[in-house]
Amino acid sequence: MQVAIVLYPGFTSLDVIGPYEVLGRLPDTEVVFVAERPGIVRNDLRGLSVDVAASLSDVPDPDVVLIGGGPGQTEQMSDGDLHEWLRTVDRTSAWTTSVCTGSLILAAAGVLDGRRATSHWAALEQLREFGVTPSDERVVIDGHYATAAGVSAGIDMALRLAGLQLGDDVAQTVQLIIEYAPEPPYDAGSLESAPADIVRSATERLSRRFPR
């Protein structure tokens, strides 16, 4: 199985590295990072520089496609080579997937038309502009599309995909290898659970990116 993970300038690193750590440990699976412009691709916090060797045309028919989010997502919303590639690989992929605001890119490319999908909580309603029904589930599976909520949700999505594709035993073995028995020190990871003042402060921090 070949997994293609799309990087672009301003990507959020955990969006892609969470699922990478799961999918990269599946048997007989190759994961390739691809970019429209190969070379050094820097993340949103600008501290991480990834050297991406493969261009989009180097990876014409991956079994799984994954695109993450991050502030750089807003630069990837216009039609062009990336959207064309997404539409093409989606025709033959077993799974077309996203984490966080990566779903907005899939939606803008037109591949999620009429589907249910999720995204980062701050961006969720934007999916409607592209004819996609937003869902506040952490992982949404609709047809061969799997979308995850914000940043850390990609780990949960990748384990779900691993189970669906290769069986529960394989997925659970990877879960144990990456010791994924989370113990968040607070119950503040979702709009539903976070205290009101935390929701206000997080919304304010993200407001330049997601104006209301």
Residues with a catalytic annotation lie at: 100
Structure token pair of residue 8? 């672009």
110/210 with CB nearer its own copies? 210
The total number of residues written for the chain in this structure: 212
The residue assigned the tokens 């949960």 is: 156
61/84 with CB nearer its own copies? 61
Contact 195, 114 (CB under 8 A): no
CB of 151 to its own copies, least distance (A): 4
Plot region of 159 (φ>0 → left; ψ -120 to 50 → alpha; else → beta): alpha
CB of 70 to its own copies, least distance (A): 11
10/83 with CB nearer its own copies? 10
The CA R_g of the chain, rounded to the nearest whole Å, is 16
Q: Of the candidates 169, 162, 207, 185, which has an alpha carbon nearest to the alpha carbon of residue 21?
A: 162
CB of 111 to its own copies, least distance (A): 23
52/83 with CB nearer its own copies? 52
What are residue 54's DSSP bridge partners?
Answer: 34
Q: How far apart are CA 153 and CA 92, in angstroms?
A: 25
Residues lying near its own copies in the complex (CB under 8 A): 12-14, 17-18, 20-21, 24-25, 30-33, 40, 45, 47-53, 100, 120-121, 138-139, 149-153, 155-156, 159-160, 163, 168-169, 171-173, 175-191, 193-195, 197-199, 201-202, 205-206
45/61 with CB nearer its own copies? 45
Structure token pair of residue 41? 């691709």
CB of 91 to its own copies, least distance (A): 25
Q: Which whole-number Å values give the CA distances from 197 to 6, 186, 209, in the listed order?
A: 35, 14, 19
Q: Please list the alpha-helical segments (H only) found in 4-65.
A: 13-23
CB of 10 to its own copies, least distance (A): 13
